[in-house]
Structure 1
Amino acid sequence: MIEFGHGTHVGLRRSRNEDAYYADPALGLFLVADGMGGHQHGEVASALARDAVVEEIRGGAPLIDAVRRAAVQLESHARRSHDALPMGTTLAALKIDQETYELVWVGDSRIYAFGEHFRQVSHDHSLVQELISAGRLDPALAARHPQRNVLTQALGITTAEQIHVGVARGACRAGTGFLLCTDGLTEGLDDAALARTARRTDLAAQECVDHLLLDGLEASGNDNLTVILVRLS
C-alpha cells in the first residue's frame, strides 16, 4: 500500500511558481522539478520535463531512460525557440514497481529516505556540493555560501549527451518512506527539521506535507516550495 501527500507554494518572495510535480500511486510515479531560466521559462521547463517523464513511464520506459529522453526533448524545445534565455530544470523522481523502487535526480532537488533512520539519498549537482566533496568547504557553511544556488547539472542546460543522472535502487519494505522536495524547502530547513516532521506517525502523509510547507515558509520562503511524501505499508 502507498500513502502519499503532496503540495506546492509560490513562496513569499516570488510572483510565479516555477516548480512542477506529479504524484500518481497507480503509475507508481512521484516527481518534483524546479525550473529556471527567466521570464516564464522556468515554469515551461519544469512542466515539459514532468510531462515528458510521465509520458515515457506510461509507455513502459524505465525511469532513468524517461529522464534522459526528457532531457533530449527539453533541449530540442529550447533550440527551436531561438531564445537567448536559458531554459532548464532540476528533477527528482521516485518509481515504485511492486517490490522494488528506483530513485533518480538531476540538479539540487532532493530525495530523502526514512524509516528507522532519515537520510539524504540524492547528491546535489551543485558547485557547493563539489567544493564539499573536494574538501574545500565546510558543510556547515554551505547554506550561507554566496554560490549555493549554482548548479553543475540541469535538464535543458546541460547537453543531453553530458547529463549525469543520479540513480539509487532498493527493495520496498513496509515502514519505508520517501521525501521529495525542491530547494525552496531545504533552503530554510535542515535535515533534522525535515526528519522531525516527515517521520511523525501521528500525522497522515498529507498533514506532514502541509506542516513542512508551513515550516519552510516560516524559515525562509524566498523560493517556490514543493513537497511530496510517500509511505509504504
Structure 2
Amino acid sequence: MVRSEAACEEALHAANEHLYGLMREPTCLGMGTTIAGFVVQERAVLSFNVGDSRGYRFSRGCLVRVSQDDVPMAVDRRADRPRGITQCLGGSEFPLGIMPHVFAGPPFEVGECLMLCTDGLTEALDDSELAMLFRELAHPAAMVEKLVRQGISRGSRDNISVLVSVAVA
C-alpha cells in the first residue's frame, strides 16, 4: 500500500519501467498513458499525476485542481490546433524517466468530492464550467453522466474518462 509521497513516486516510476518492459513486444511499441489518482488516507489525501489527466477536489462549493498538467506552456488547451504532452508513462521508442507530481492534502471530509478525468473532458470544459456542474448536481453518477455528455456535446476529440467519489459518514 502507498503510504507516503515517496512511496507514491516509487510506484509511478515502477509503472513507467513496467510499460517500457512491455514495449519490448512488437505489438506494444509506443504504448503509453497519462495517469492521475488519489490515495485516500485517514490523515491526508495524496494526489498524483503524470501527463495531462487531472485530479480535482470539490469542497464547500469550490473546485480546486490538485494536479499539474504536463503540457507545453504555449499550448492553449481550447485552441483548435494539435497539442502535446511533455511527459507520460511509456510512449517513446526508448525509456525516458518521469518526474511525477505528488502532493499531500488535507483529509477527505464528509460531503467533499474527488474527481479524476482525462484531457478529453478538460479540453472541452474549463475549470469554471466544471465547478458550475459540480454545484448543480449532488449524486456522483449524475455528475459523471452530465460531465461526459457536456464534453461530447462541446466537441471533445479525445476519449473522456471521469471518476467521481464522494465522502460519506
* Residue 88 (1) aligns with residue 32 (2): yes
Q: How does 1:1-233 map to 2 (within 5 A)?
A: 62-78=7-23, 80-82=24-26, 85-116=29-60, 117-127=62-72, 130-131=73-74, 141-144=76-79, 146-148=81-83, 150-157=84-91, 162-172=97-107, 173-200=109-136, 203-233=138-168
Shift of 1:97: 1.6
In 2, distance between residues paired with 1:196 and 1:105?
A: 24
Contact 1:175 1:232 in 2 (8 A): yes
Distance 1:97 1:215 in 2: 32
**Do 2:8 and 2:102's aligned partners in 1 also have CA atoms closer than 8 Å?**
no
1:39 alignment partner in structure 2: none
Q: 1:125 to 1:169 in 2, by over 3 A?
A: same
Cα deviation, 1:29-60, whole Å, max 9, x if unaligned, reads xxxxxxxxxxxxxxxxxxxxxxxxxxx76xxx
Alpha-carbon distance in structure 2 between the residues aligned to 1:126 and 1:184: 14
Segment drifting more, 98-107 vs 159-168: 159-168
Contact map agreement 1:187 1:220 (CA 8 A) in 2? no
Q: CA deviation at 1:230?
A: 1.5
Listed as ranges, the gaps of 5+ residues in structure 2 are none
Deviates more, 1:157-166 or 1:96-105: 157-166
Q: Which runs of 5 or more residues in structure 1 are unaligned?
A: 1-55, 132-136
CA-CA distance at 1:83 after TM superposition: 5.8
Contact 1:92/1:109 (<8 A) preserved: yes
Question: CA distance change for structure 1 residues 157 and 204 in 2, over 3 Å: closer, same or farther?
Answer: same
How far is 1:232 from its partner?
Answer: 1.9
Query: Per the alignment, in what secondary structure is the counterpart of residue 144 of structure 1?
Result: coil
* Residue 193 of structure 1: how far off its partner (Å): 1.4
Question: Which residue identity is paired with 2:161?
Answer: T
Asked if the contact 2:115/2:162 (under 8 Å) is kept, the reply is yes
C-alpha deviation, 1:81, in angstroms: 1.1
Aligned-residue Cα RMSD (Å) equals 2.4
- Answer yes or no: is the 8 Å Cα contact 2:37–2:47 preserved in 1: yes
Deviations 1:142-177 (A, max 9, x none): 4206242x1110101367662010011112123332
TM-score of the aligned structures, taking structure 1 as reference length: 0.62
| 2-structure distance, mates of 1:126, 1:81 | 28
